[in-house]
Amino acid sequence: MAEYQDILVDTVDAVMTITLNRPDRLNAWTGTMQAEVKQAVLAAGRDETVRCIVVTGAGRGFCAGADMGGLQAIKPGDEGSPGTQVEEDTSDPFPDVPGPSVHEHFAGRFGYLYACPKPVIAAINGPCAGIGLVFALYADMRVAAESAKFTTAFSQRGLIAEHGISWILPRLVGEANALDILFTARVFLGDEAARIGLVNKALPGDDLMPHVTGVARHLSDVVSPRSIAVMKRQIRKAYFQDFETALAVADAEMKASFDTFDFKEGVDSVVEKRPPAFRGA
Question: What is the CATH classification number for the domain harbouring 208?
Answer: 3.90.226.10
| Among the listed residues 270, 280, 272, the one whose alpha carbon sits nearest the alpha carbon of residue 219 | 280
Angle at CA of residue 168, ends 221 and 144, nearest 5°:
50
What's the one-letter identity of residue 57? G
Range of the domain at 135: 7-220
Same domain, 78 and 189: yes
Question: pTM for this structure?
Answer: 0.91
Angle at CA of residue 47, ends 254 and 92, nearest 5°:
70
How would you list the strands of the sheet with 7-12, edge to edge?
A: 7-12, 15-20, 52-57, 120-124, 141-145, 201-203
Examine residue 281 and state whether it is found in any structural domain, yes or no. no
Mean pLDDT by 10 residues, the chain (281 residues): 90 97 96 96 96 98 84 52 57 89 89 96 98 98 98 92 94 97 97 98 97 97 96 96 97 96 96 94 90
| Ramachandran quadrant class, 240 (left: phi over 0; alpha: psi -120 to 50; beta: rest) | alpha
Same domain, 70 and 98: yes
Same domain, 232 and 135: no
The predicted pLDDT at position 81 comes to 54
| Among the listed residues 121, 106, 116, 103, the one whose alpha carbon sits nearest the alpha carbon of residue 38 | 116
CA 43 – CA 79 distance, rounded (Å)? 28
Examine residue 23 and state whether it is found in any structural domain, yes or no. yes
The predicted pLDDT at position 67 comes to 87
